[in-house]
Amino acid sequence: MSFRQFSAETQKEQTSSAPANKSLVEKLWGLESNVADKSFKSRWMITIPAVVTHICIGSPWAWSMVADVITREYGFVTSAAADWTMMQSSMALSLVFGAFGISASLLGKWQLKVGARKSIAYGAAAFGGAMALGSLGIYLHSLPLTLGGYGILGGLGIGFAYNPPIQALLQWFPDKKGFASGVAIAGFGSGALLFTPAVQYFTKKFAKMPEYLGPVSEFSTKTIEGKLFADVNGALVEVVQAGAAELAKIPYTLQEGLYVVGSGSTGAMETLGALGVVYTLAMLGSSLTMKVPHPSYSVALPAAATPSGAPATPPVAIQPVPDMSVEDATRTKQFALLWMTFYCLATGGMGMFSVAKPMMSEVFSAALPAIVTSAFASKYVLMLSSGNLGKLTFFQSKKSHF
């Protein structure tokens, strides 16, 4: 049975058993609300909520922008003893895509039963909640809360919202399947293109500069249990020391010397919370405008060219082709090989994205301090995202020719 046939049968079953008086939730996100009117033909309009949804859930591709910042949450100019390591902060991206892959594979049949609208709405709640929990984890300096919130719950949110827009577009564009899947996945690949400048803007807006003590030469310092302290009027104050190399990695103009630990704020907590609200509202709005075609909807293909003077062949309507069941597909050798291919590709790609900005700063800033600034490292993330977008767009649009 094809996806469209299964979806149509599910709609009939649930419609027949639906109560006469529906709740507001059912009116807005119920299965019946998913189906477009018979007269609705503006299929190109459906690409908008599909792309918006995928742009939102594609934002984790630029997680390294946040991961780099939260390794300096206490020290601000450089990591303090209590700050998280890059390995700890970048682990969130691994959890996001791990949870995404597992949840997307398990939620497939459920998504067909409840419809695209409700599934995307669940995704909005989960993904927005994940960013809120990640923000709270940064505020409380709780690594488990940040990883479990943004990582696992965020991946679940992507799993809810990833497939429904693609499935809807494939039904609207049976004659342009490569385009249908490509346009949605292009949004997923371009999520980092918006998330990166948004993080830059909000962190600068919410950041609080740390207290500057003065040059290192003016203070007596000592290290106790891995923490650096400065003697300030007879009292020991925990500090971090920032030189030219450390200051080149942050987007602020500060002086070299000692800074009091915990006296500033990177703005990461507020940034994640604000963007969580924006993404939740955007995805909820998209869920309310997403529709699948009416069962009577069909698209006719132009007939093949005929010799001059010969009668034209009438357009041929595209009919659904029966699909292999999920259970049978997962038992094939092709599925195992394809799964392994994607696993290997994803491991390298996501590993690169998880540390893109700090990797550029750490590896090249010392050798090329005038070139590899914080802004340059951020542009490197944008370049990676542009390449990811171009790759997804090109191959998805051409897959129907392969």
Is residue 399 pLDDT above 70, yes or no?
A: no
- Split at pLDDT 50, 70, 90, the class of 335 is confident
How many Å apart are CA 68 and CA 58, to the nearest integer? 18
Strand order in the sheet with 221-224: 212-214, 257-260, 235-242, 227-232, 221-224
Can you tell me the distance from the alpha carbon of 268 to that of 88, in angstroms, rounded to the nearest whole number?
A: 16
What is the mean pLDDT of the segment spanning 138-159?
Answer: 95
**How are the residues of the chain apportioned to helix, strand and coil, as percentages rounded to the nearest 5?**
65, 10, 30
pLDDT in tens, 24-77: 888 889 888 899 998 887 888 999 999 999 999 999 988 888 998 999 999 999
CATH numbers and ranges of domains, the chain: 30-207+266-297+326-401 (1.20.1250.20), 209-264 (no CATH)
Structure tokens at 136: 């709270």
Average pLDDT over residues 149-160: 95
Both structure tokens of 37: 């009117």
Residue 78 has pLDDT above 80, yes or no: yes
How is residue 263 annotated by DSSP?
S
Tens-digit pLDDT profile for residues 250-275: 889 999 999 999 999 999 999 999 99
Q: What is the pTM (predicted TM-score) of this model?
A: 0.79
Task: Reply yes or no on whether the pLDDT at 222 is more than 90.
Answer: yes
Pairing of strands 212-214, 257-260: antiparallel
β partners of residue 232: 235
3-state secondary structure of 259: strand
Residue 322 has pLDDT above 70, yes or no: no
Confidence band for 284, pLDDT divided at 50, 70 and 90: very high
Please enumerate in sequence order all residues whose Cβ is within 8 A of that of 51, keeping only pairs 6 or more positions apart, or say none. Answer: 165, 183, 184, 186, 187
Does the pLDDT of residue 318 top 60, yes or no? no
What does the pLDDT look like over 63-75, one tens digit per residue?
A: 888 998 999 999 9
Q: Mean pLDDT over residues 149-178, rounded?
A: 91
pLDDT at 377: 66
What is the rounded average pLDDT of the residues 134-154? Answer: 96
Position 385 pLDDT exceeds 70: no
Work out the pLDDT band at 329, boundaries 50, 70, 90. Answer: confident
Does 156 have pLDDT greater than 60?
Answer: yes
pLDDT at 357: 61
Is 175 a residue whose pLDDT tops 90?
no
Percent of the chain whose pLDDT exceeds 90: 46
pLDDT number for residue 2 = 46
Residue range 133-160: mean pLDDT, rounded:
96
Bridge partners (DSSP) of residue 237 are 230
Model confidence at 226: pLDDT above 80: yes
Distance CA 39, CA 21 (A): 25
pLDDT value at 303 more than 80:
no
Q: According to the model, what pLDDT value does residue 3 have?
A: 47
Give the residue among 145, 61, 65, 125 at the shortest CA–CA distance from 96.
61
Cβ partners under 8 Å of residue 221, min gap 6: 228, 229, 230, 231, 239, 241, 258
Mean pLDDT check: name the lowest of 1-10, 238-247, 292-301.
1-10
334 has pLDDT over 90: no
pLDDT of residue 27: 86
How confident is the model at residue 50, as a pLDDT?
94
The answer, yes or no, to whether residue 206 has pLDDT greater than 50, is yes
Would you state the pLDDT for residue 1? 47
pLDDT in tens, 87-137: 899 899 889 988 998 998 889 889 989 999 999 999 999 999 999 999 999
On average, the pLDDT of the chain sits at 82
For residue 182, the model assigns a pLDDT of: 80
